[in-house]
Chain A
Amino acid sequence: MGRALLTVSAHELRTRLRDGTAIVIALIVPVTLATLFGLALGGDDPPLRATIGLVDLDGGEFPASVRREVAGAEELKGSVTLRDLPDGGEARRALDAGEIGAAIVFPAGFSARVGAGEGGDVTVLTSAGSPLAGVVAGAVVDRISAVVDARTLAVRAALLAGVPGDEVKELVERNGAAGPALALTGDPLAGGKVDLAVYYGSGMAALFAFFVVGASFRSLLTERKLGTLDRMRAGPLAAWVPVAGKAVVGFGLAMVSVCATWASGTLIFGSSWGDPLAVLTVLTAHVLAAAAITMLVAARVRTDAQADGVIMVISFVAAFLGGSLVPLHSLPGPLQTAALLTPNGWTATALAELAGSGAGVAAVAGPVAVLLAIALGAGGLAVLGLRKGMLL
């Protein structure tokens, strides 16, 4: 079946290249629009302000040092303020209501457990609408982790050396083996700013991925109209070959499109989208989700003209709600919630995180998992629809 698959893919690619639509939709338009948006609106975000919630159920030295460091850090003055909150539930409510941009939750007994060498977990709550607050909260907790690790190690070493448990804490502190004290080094805001050129560039990439990959599934309907699809299905080849042959080309062209938009943004504006492997992972997951959704459209409509219309509407609605056209944090609260229903919303969130923090793949595992779940869900429904519509 490999040769049949290659034959369908080669024909699809030749057709797309011959009529010029592939070059225009996959390369020229997204790169041009991303560049124009970048030139018109690019540059760093204006100075941002963020409020970070602090839930202190511990009452020990760690929450106290967080208060001290945030208040003392020159870089955070005027930008970041702390707000005390009674518990995690209240922190979540304030976060959802947009009253705070992130929250750090210290559980009861945290400082005591660290002092006893048992380690401890601090919870950070973040919001897509306030990447700056998330970055600062993340930086604070990173420092806490380093201190906790160092102190846990020192305590365990002392215990192993035979020091009685009730004397360990005093011994460790007296000998300066407690590891570094909590201190915010460098500029914790360094990663918090996302160049709007990056934002709009990734938005255009996310939007046009739908059009590029959708064109291949649309052509399945054109083939049904021509009768060539029935000729293929009546021939001695597996039923999935025509669909898969076109899907491969659609996916490949969409990947070329998003990567070209990414590369052009980096070359023209010199702005980084973040860790390349992580960006590529997010873009791949986005293209898979877009492919599954447009395949579902092709499975549900009757003609290629209908597919054009429906794919255009879905692409623009998903782009608008999902922050591909307007930054997510500029949208009203209910629309920010609606963004979570679109692949674009998760893609925009993940790419903003990568561009803002310089983090790796692990930082965007959640959004990538959601994008893959969308791809699986829509793809499964599409396969059922394609069978019913005699396309598969």
Chain B
Amino acid sequence: MAAMTAALACRGLGKRYGDLVAVDDVGLSITPGQAYGLLGPNGAGKTTTISMLVGLLRPDAGEVLVGGVDLAREPLRAKARIGYVPQEIALYPELTGRENLRFFGRLFGLPRRGLAARVDEVLDLIGLADRADGKLGAYSGGMKRRVNIGAALLHRPQVLILDEPTVGVDPQSRKAILDGLERLVADGMALLYTSHYMEEVERVCDRVAIIDHGRIVADGTRRELVSLVGGADTVELVLDGDVAAAFGKLRAVEGVSEAARTGESSVRLLADGGRYLLPSLITAVEGHATVTAAQVVEPDLEATFLHLTGTTLRD
């Protein structure tokens, strides 16, 4: 029933490369006006999944429905409802921002008469109306990212699929992009969002799936996912000394359920009653390293991610 009304849905999606299973039995459903986050460590199968959802890659198994239209059977009708924002700046640097939008608008079948007006509308939407006639190659990273999103909006898609849309963007542009995406969702657009920035996903998405080793290991609202961690806190420690040896000791402390190195001298632990465990943690590394800073964080998505995948998002 959900597939009938979903802006984007997939069932049993699978892709193999020889013996390697890249994606296995992935299913998700996004309704209009819903923002759905897809989180996973590198190599988890996010990009392969997205490639199948936008029709770049043919799945070995499963089906994709876009607004109820089968992507495999009616690719053009289904694709007309998808706006795809690739991870790279998929635009022509020698053209201006406006020329890039006009090119993709024409290519995606916008009527000749309404093309210029629609390009102006999108330029307004991405906040680049006054800079539209400069060469794209001379734009800042944030401006390019905004045109990258704008090119996917030209044909008025029902679902927008964004693969890491804010990589290499300054904070001001990131805020402008996220504000713009929230407005689109409020206007009824469905959104599928992948990012390495957990705080972006927490801000934009009302539902999140965590994918690991090609399978969706958890799917739910932020509250539902965080509750999976139970009462565990995240403990961030900065160490001085033999960090590798200290890391081994920390993993073995009773009450620590997950542990990950997050930098040269920093580790992240998931521990039941983390704040009460601090003295044991400090004692455990004695002789190998000294704890120079410690922070205990209440359960969040990051903690859930660590709990489910045994790794941090930016590993």
Complex CA gap A24/B109 in Å reads 34
Query: Quick check: which of B33-41, B78-86, B236-244, B295-303 contacts chain A, the rest being far away?
Result: B78-86
Q: How far is the CA of A231 from the CA of B87 in the complex (A)?
A: 11
Among B76, B106, B151, the residue within 8 A (CB) of A231 is B151
The stretch of B51-59, B172-180, B195-203 in contact with A is B51-59
- Asked whether B25 is an interface residue with its Cβ less than 8 Å from the other chain, the reply is no
CB distance from B145 to the nearest CB of A (A): 13
* Pair A237/B90 contact, Cβ less than 8 Å: no
Which of A4-12, A262-270, A315-323, A364-372 participates in binding chain B?
A: A4-12
Which B residues are CB-close (under 8 A) to A11? Answer: 92, 103
In the A-B complex, list the 3 residue pairs whose CB atoms are closest, starting with the nearest: A227-B90, A236-B80, A227-B88
Number of interface residues of B (CB under 8 A): 27
Q: Is the CB of B107 within 8 A of A234?
A: no
For chain A residues 196-243, which have a beta carbon within 8 Å of chain B? 226-228, 230-238
Inter-chain contacts of B90 with A (CB < 8 A)? 226-228, 230-231
Which one, A226, A230, A237, A390, contacts B108 given CB within 8 A?
A: A237
Inter-subunit contact A227/B80 (CB<8 Å): no
Which listed residue (B87, B88, B94, B107) contacts A4, Cβ 8 A? B107
> Is B89 at the interface (CB under 8 A from chain A)?
yes
Q: Does B139 contact A (CB under 8 A)?
A: no
Cβ of A174 within 8 Å of any chain B Cβ, yes or no, is: no
Nearest CB of chain B from residue A13's CB, rounded to whole Å: 13
Q: Which residues of B contact A227 (CB under 8 A)?
A: 86-90
Binding site for A on B (CB under 8 A): 54-57, 76-77, 79-80, 82, 84, 86-92, 94, 103-104, 106-109, 151-152, 155
Q: Given contact pairs A231-B152, A233-B55, A237-B109, enumerate 16 new A-B contacts (beta carbons under 8 Å).
A: A7-B106, A18-B94, A226-B90, A226-B91, A226-B92, A227-B86, A230-B56, A230-B84, A231-B104, A233-B56, A234-B55, A234-B79, A234-B82, A236-B80, A236-B155, A390-B57
Q: How far is the CB of B26 from chain A (nearest CB, A)?
A: 18
A-B contact count (CB 8 A): 65
11 residue pairs from A and B, CB less than 8 Å apart: A4-B106, A15-B94, A226-B92, A233-B56, A234-B55, A234-B56, A234-B82, A234-B86, A235-B108, A236-B79, A237-B108
A243 smallest CB distance to B (angstroms): 14
| Docked pose: A3 CA to B104 CA in angstroms | 12
Return chain B residues, CB-CB under 8 Å to A3.
106, 109
Which listed residue, A4, A15, A234, A390, touches B84 by the CB 8 Å rule? A234
Assembled-state Cα–Cα distance A390/B155 (Å): 23
Q: Which residues of B contact A15 (CB under 8 A)?
A: 94
> How many angstroms from the CA of A108 to the CA of B87 in the assembled complex?
77
Chain A positions within 8 Å of B, measured between CB atoms, are 3-4, 7-8, 11, 15, 18, 226-228, 230-238, 390
- Taking each of A7, A228, A235, A237, which has the highest tally of chain B beta carbons within 10 Å of its own beta carbon? A235
Secondary structure type dominating chain A contacts? helix
Q: Is A226 in contact with B88, judged by CB distance below 8 angstroms? A: yes
Specify which of A230, A235, A390 is in contact with B107 (CB 8 Å cutoff). A235
Of A4, A18, A226, A233, which is within 8 A of B109 by CB?
A: A4
CA distance A238 to B76 in the complex (A): 7
User: Is the CB–CB distance between A230 and B80 below 8 Å?
Assistant: no
| Docked-complex contact B107 and A232, CB < 8 angstroms | yes
When chains A and B are docked, how far (Å) is the Cα of A36 from the Cα of B107? 44
Q: Are A228 and B56 in contact, CB atoms less than 8 angstroms apart? A: no
Task: List the A side residues contacting B54 at CB < 8 Å.
Answer: 234
Q: Are B86 and A237 in contact (CB under 8 A)?
A: no
Q: How far does the Cβ of B158 sit from chain A's closest Cβ, in whole Å?
A: 12
Q: What chain B residues lie within 8 Å of A230 (beta carbons)?
A: 56, 84, 86, 90
> In the assembly, what is the distance between CA of A8 and CA of B104, in Å?
10
* Bound-complex Cα distance A227 to B104 (A): 13
Which of chain B's residues has its CB closest to A6's CB? B106
A237 and B76 contact, CB distance less than 8 A: yes
The CA-CA distance from A228 to B147 in the complex, in Å, is: 13
Q: Contacts of B89 on A, CB cut-off 8 Å?
A: 227
B80: A residues at CB distance < 8 A: 236
Q: How far is B93's CA from A18's CA once the two chains are assembled, in angstroms?
A: 13
**In the bound complex, what is the Cα–Cα distance between A15 and B93 (angstroms)?**
11
Cβ distance B103 to chain A, nearest Cβ, rounded Å: 6
A228 to B108, CA, bound (A): 13
- Cβ-closest chain A residue relative to B157: A236
User: B119: shortest Cβ distance to chain A, in Å?
Assistant: 14
Determine how close the nearest CB of chain B comes to the CB of A6; give it in whole angstroms: 9
Please report the C-alpha to C-alpha distance between residue A230 and residue B151 in the assembled complex, in whole angstroms: 13
> Complex Cα distance A4/B80, Å?
14
B161: nearest chain-A partner, CB-CB: A234
With A233-B56, A234-B56, A236-B155 already in contact, the answer to whether A228 and B106 are too (CB < 8 A) is no
Task: Give the Cβ gap from A59 to chain B, nearest Cβ, in Å.
Answer: 70
Q: In the complex, which residues of chain A have a beta carbon less than 8 angstroms from the beta carbon of B106?
A: 3-4, 7
Residues of B within 8 A of A7 (CB): 103, 106-107
Task: Give every chain B residue within 8 A of A228 (Cβ-Cβ).
Answer: 90-92
In the assembled complex, which residues on chain A have CB atoms less than 8 Å from the CB atom of B91? 226, 228
Report A-chain residues with C-beta under 8 Å of the C-beta of B92: 11, 226, 228
Complex-state Cα separation, A11 to B87, whole angstroms = 23
Q: Is the CB–CB distance between B103 and A236 below 8 Å? A: no
What chain B residues lie within 8 Å of A4 (beta carbons)? 106-107, 109
Does B76 contact A236, Cβ atoms closer than 8 Å?
Answer: yes
Tell me if A8 and B55 are in contact (CB < 8 A).
Answer: no
* Distance in angstroms between the alpha carbons of A236 and B56 in the assembled complex: 12
Q: How far is the CA of A227 from the CA of B55 in the complex (A)?
A: 15
Contact B107 A8 (CB under 8 A): yes
- Complex CA gap A8/B108 in Å reads 11
A15-B94, A390-B56 as given contacts; A236 in contact with B108, CB under 8 Å: yes
Tell me, in angstroms, the Cα distance from A87 to B172 when the chains sit together.
Answer: 89
Shortest Cβ distance from residue B45 to the other chain A in the assembled complex, whole angstroms: 17
Bound Cα distance from A305 to B106, whole angstroms: 30
